[in-house]
Amino acid sequence: MSDKKLPLQERMEQYPYLRSRFESIMDIVEDTSASVDTADEAEQLLIDEIREMGKEALHDWAVGKEVEKVTELMDKKDGIKKHSKKKYPGTPPSDR
């Protein structure tokens, strides 16, 4: 990663699920759906949104790390082979 970060708007475009979750959180805060009447309801909705956002972000992070590690290991090639299908079924049983 570079030392200079992109503006938030550009970074959010790379992660549409985060943008969606933030919009949902803002809807709750702005109370655009008049279905929330108590602070407890609003709190629970916010907690649910933040948990889901955390799960999605962690999943995205893990996928990125996996790709990074696989690429790194493949570049080293210290006896590591990609999985490939056998070209023949093996040694046939001997005839008696």
pLDDT at site 2: 53
Question: Exposed (0-12), middle (13-18) or buried (19+): which is 74, by Cβ within 10 Å?
Answer: exposed
pLDDT at site 80: 66
Give pLDDT tens digits along the chain (96 positions): 455 788 988 988 988 999 999 999 998 888 866 688 889 999 999 999 999 999 999 999 999 999 998 888 877 776 666 677 777 777 767 755
Its pTM stands at 0.64
Which two tokens mark 57? Answer: 């972000």
| Domain ranges for the chain | 8-74
pLDDT at site 37: 86
Torsion of CA 69, 72, 75, 79, to 10 degrees: -60
Q: Would you tell me how many other CB atoms lie within 10 Å of the CB of residue 28?
A: 19
